[in-house]
Amino acid sequence: MSTGLRVPRRALGVRVRRVSGDLVIGVDADALELTDVAKLIYESADGRNRVADIVAIVVARYDADPAEVSADVSDFLDDLAGRGVVEWVVEEPLR
């Protein structure tokens, strides 16, 4: 499966709080703060959007270069997956 076709989903059981518009995520004993584009990516990881869809969401919101955004989004989601904050959906995206 190509990177863009992967489907990320926010992992259940992860504690999330919205504080003054930003997100604070509990990762073990630490707190991960997500603002702006990071928050948008996390919120978009709903188990239906593919990485390519999330890239399109970010590009539309920030009027950014798709090629540049694509790598950043993918890297960021891989980082979140490594922390257990998101997980990759194995099956086909829910449409």
Partner 1 sequence: MSERTFMAVPTPEQDTADWLNPLRERDLLPDDTIAAFVVGSVARGWENSRSDFDIYVVTTEEVRTESYNAALMPLDPPRVRNEVFFENGRRWEITYWLERQFDQMLAKISWDRYTGEVFAGEILSPREETSLARLVHCRPLLGSEWIEARCELLNQSAFRSIVVVRSLGLADDAAEDALGQLEAGHLESAVLSARRALGHAVDSLLESAGEYGSHMPKWRPNRFKAAAPEVLSFERYWALETMRDYDPADPRPWVRSVLTICQDIAIRVETT
Q: Name which of residues 35 to 74 contact partner 1 (CB under 8 A).
A: 43, 47
Determine if 12 is a binding residue for partner 1 (CB under 8 A).
yes
- 81 contacts partner 1 (rule: CB under 8 A): no
Q: Examine residue 90 and tell whether it contacts partner 1 (CB under 8 A).
A: no
CB 4 within 8 A of CB 51: yes
Interface stretch with partner 1, choices 8-16, 53-61, 69-77, 81-89 (CB under 8 A): 8-16
Q: How far is the CB of 77 from partner 1 (least distance, A)?
A: 16
- Residue matched to tokens 């449409």: 95
Q: Is 30 in the site for partner 1 (CB under 8 A)?
A: no
- Asked if 91 touches partner 1 (CB under 8 A), the answer is no
CA angle, residues 58, 68, 23, in degrees to nearest 5: 40
* Structure-block tokens of residue 28: 């073990």
- Indicate the residue among 45 and 70 with the shorter CB distance to partner 1: 45
